[in-house]
Structure 1
Amino acid sequence: MTDGEEFRRVLDVVLCDVRAQCSVRPDVRAAEDGYPGLMLYAPDGSGQGVYWGSDDRPGARLAEVADQVQEWAVEALWGEAKSAVWPHCPVHPDSHPLSATVVEGVAVWVCAKAPKGAAPVSRVGELPPRGVDA
């Protein structure tokens, strides 16, 4: 598998979470001008590049891409005049988004407001479906 194919596979995992819980879908396109990743475009035409760095620890690249897709989703939701919280924390609905991080080599979404610190909610790519009208 080439590096580009691996990157696309990782991005597709994160896009599973977008489809499960975000009302805005990205238009994924190849980047121009030698950009090393892909571009995500929102319905309003705005775009953001998504790439990964050199951190190849287990889970790190997936968490890094999830973080960038989250940035895109928040901006895209804002542009659509919708709640700019994605993904929603199931413990604190409509108050804050989950954060992507790595726990024991696995990319996970965590609630940073848990009483005892960051609490894993779901593996990245495995968020349960939620109404996407938000």
Structure 2
Amino acid sequence: MDEALARAMEPVLRDIAGTGAPRPTIRDGNWQISSEYPCAMLWGRDGSGMGVSVYLGDAESVRIVAAAENVQQWVIDELWAASRTNWPVCPGHPSTHPLTPTESNGVATWVCPLDRAVVAEIGSL
């Protein structure tokens, strides 16, 4: 996997491990738009896959948020048939929505989409 994409994915994969969410099998993607958009594929237990990509021209915190958006969608899809799909769970509203990945002032964070409260830096769940 491209080094910049791997660095962007690393904190999100830490959050998966920290929360016990399903972890994808990750393989290099072959659908890359251009050399500025490295990509990989996230594969589930059932053989379904989803792409993840970042733009190399973005700041690292923005690349982390982009990776988090893609991985979050993969986790939600993976959990769909088995359990609650609001990953990562918003601690203030655990039964209604997941946290949203956001970048602010150079920091990639998970925030509540309702009240915009910062819950944690991505990678520290």
Tell me the TM-score normalized by structure 1: 0.82
Counterpart AA for 1:122: A
Secondary structure at the residue paired with 2:82?
A: coil
Task: Tell me how large the CA RMSD over aligned residues is.
Answer: 1.8
Gaps spanning 5+ residues in structure 1: where?
128-134
Report the counterpart of residue 86 of structure 2 in structure 1. 85
Q: Which deviates further from its counterpart, 55-64 or 37-46?
A: 55-64
Superposed, which structure 2 residues align to 1:89-100 within 5 Å? 89-100=90-101
Task: State the percentage of identical aligned residues.
Answer: 38
CA distance in 1, matches of 2:9, 2:82: 25
- Asked if 1:43 is matched to 2:45, the reply is yes
Secondary structure at the residue paired with 1:59?
A: helix
May I ask how many residue pairs the two structures share in their alignment? 121
CA distance in 2, matches of 1:37, 1:44: 21
Distance change in 2, residues 1:11/1:58 (3 Å): closer
- Asked if 1:72 is matched to 2:70, the reply is no
Gaps spanning 5+ residues in structure 2: where?
none
Distance change in 2, residues 1:55/1:89 (3 Å): farther
Report the counterpart of residue 30 of structure 1 in structure 2. 28
- Asked if 1:56 is matched to 2:58, the reply is yes
CA distance in 1, matches of 2:54, 2:4: 11
Tell me the TM-score normalized by structure 2: 0.87
CA deviation digits over 1:70-128, x for unaligned, max 9? 011100111x42111100001111221000011111000000112xxx1110001111x
